[in-house]
Amino acid sequence: MSEAVEVATFLAAVTPERRHEEASVLDSLFREVTGWAPRLWSGGMLGYGTYDYTYASGRSGTFFATGFAPRKARLSVYIMPGYADFSTILADLGKHKTGKSCLYINKLEDVDTEVLKRLVRAGLEDLASRWPVTAT
C-alpha cells in the first residue's frame, strides 16, 4: 500500500465524525504550511517532514518534524523540540493545553487556525536551527 493510500485510509477511518472533519482540516493546514505530504507513523500520528537526531547520550533516530494525531478525546499537535519558546504565539492561539512537545486541543473551533499556522511554521524554523529537516 502506498503512503498516500495509507494516509487516506487512516483519515477516512477517524471517528467520531467531528474528529474526522477536524483531522481533514488539520491535514490541509499542515500540507499548506509545510508543503509536504504526510506519512503515517506508529500510534496513529501523521507526520510532515523528518529529521535525524543524535543526543549527547549517543541515542539517535529519525522522527517527524511536525504533525498531529486525531485522538478521540482531543487533538494532539506535535511541535519538535517543544513549546518553550512560543509563549507569545500560544497566548493568541485560544483554548489549549501543552505537554513537552504536544499541544492538546479539545475542539479545533477552540483555536485560531491562522495562529496555529504561525505556530507550526515557528516550530519548524526552530527545529531546522537544531537539526536538518527533510521533506516527506
Report the run of H or E that residue 63 belongs to, with start and end. strand 60-70
In this predicted model, what pLDDT tens digit does every residue of 1-23 receive, in sequence order?
Answer: 678 779 999 999 999 999 999 99
Catalogue all structural domains in the chain, each as residue range(s) with its CATH number. 3-134 (3.90.1150)
pLDDT at residue 41 greater than cutoff 70: yes
* pLDDT for position 1: 60
Model-level pTM?
0.92
Q: How far apart, in Å, are the Cα atoms of 26 and each of 8, 51, 53, 66, 85?
A: 13, 21, 26, 12, 22
| H or E segment and range at residue 134 | strand 133-134
pLDDT of residue 85: 80
Helices (H), 13-135: 17-34, 87-93, 113-128
